[in-house]
Amino acid sequence: MNQDQQPDAQLQTFRGRTPREAIGKARTALGRDAVIVAQQQRNGEVEIVASVDFPDVAPPTRGLGEHVRSRLTAAGFAPNFCNAVDEPYGWQELPDLFRATLRFASPGLPLTGAFRFVGAPGVGKTTTIIKLLAEHVLRYGRHGLQLISTDNRRLAGCEQLALAAELLDVPYIEIPEEGLAEALERFRTASLVMVDSAGVSFGKGGIVPAATRDVLVTPAMWQPGSLRRLKTQLDALNPVGLAITHADQVDQLGPCLSVIADWRLPLLWVSQGTELPEDLEPATPELLAELVYAGIDRSQMNTTFA
């Protein structure tokens, strides 16, 4: 018998006013490996039967056991990602698995020098800059900051950043992309320069390399092929890392993380909403694991209580 399997499932019943409450109780009692096997309404409450039919011990062989592999697959991770893991991590060891497969800027990338945020239109470049800037101003004040937008061709392309600069009282200029080198030279003594760029559409050319640390902004819901295509289009750049945005809008982070694992680029930030600045967090293995667990919980709940 495979060590990933047990002859007897451990069945327990949990009740709550809502499915979320009942599943929460099951998770607290049985851990992350709890699987919902039945549900019903009883006396105005939701009753679920949950089982732990997988032990959380890893098989003695190298590589992932079937249990973890099938859960990663359910979370959208690609076969290549699963095959590249050569240690037998248990499901509760997802942070360690991510530490081994993804790169992180530990203990966080210091925001000094010139950063430029690049990516497709509407992925969250400007929002990410504003969140980082707001956090920076709250923590360290506004001294030595400079904001630049090179998104000056589009109607109202600069407006959001200009308004944020005004509210946060941070110096701001709008320039064409061709003027960036000169502007960076002009602000070389600033402690932090944040550059917002126009979105790069498929097949419409890339972005000219500059003396900036470029951050690739990628939405969590993009398909792997689209992510790869955009990265190829921005091949001339050498990004220092990635910000994943719209993580609140997906149940499956696997497709996006599988591609990012291939790139070996550090994950810098994860954005989970539009609130400033609290919806942006430094990317950590623990945060990603929480998001994957929560996504599986949500999709399990949707399936069970649909």
Ligand X SMILES: Nc1nc2c(ncn2[C@@H]2O[C@H](COP(=O)(O)OP(=O)(O)OP(=O)(O)O)[C@@H](O)[C@H]2O)c(=O)[nH]1
Residue, CB closest to ligand X: 199
CB of 159 to Mg ion, least distance (A): 9
Distance, CA of 22 to CA of 39 (rounded, Å): 10
Could you tell me the two tokens for 204? 């419409």
Residues 61-75 as b/e (b if ≥16 CB within 10 A, e otherwise) read eebbbebbbebbebb
Nearer to ligand X, 93 or 281 (CB): 281
80: partner contacted, choices ligand X, Mg ion, none (Cβ within 5-8 A by kind): none
CB of 102 to ligand X, least distance (A): 19
272: partner contacted, choices Mg ion, ligand X, none (Cβ within 5-8 A by kind): ligand X
The dihedral over CA atoms of 128, 129, 135, 139, expressed in degrees to the nearest 10, equals 150
Nearer to Mg ion, 76 or 157 (CB): 157
239: partner contacted, choices Mg ion, ligand X, none (Cβ within 5-8 A by kind): none
35-42/45-52 β-pairing:
antiparallel
Q: Contacts with Mg ion in 99-158 (CB under 5 A)?
A: 125-126
Q: Contacts with Mg ion in 196-235 (CB under 5 A)?
A: none
- List residues binding ligand X (CB under 6 A): 121-127, 151, 199, 245-246, 248-249, 271-274
CA atoms within 13 A on the CB side of 249: 14
CB of 55 to ligand X, least distance (A): 36
* DSSP characters over 256-274: HHHHHHHHTPEEEEEE-SS
Identity of the residue numbered 296: I
Nearer to Mg ion, 122 or 225 (CB): 122
Binding positions for Mg ion, rule: CB under 5 A: 125-126
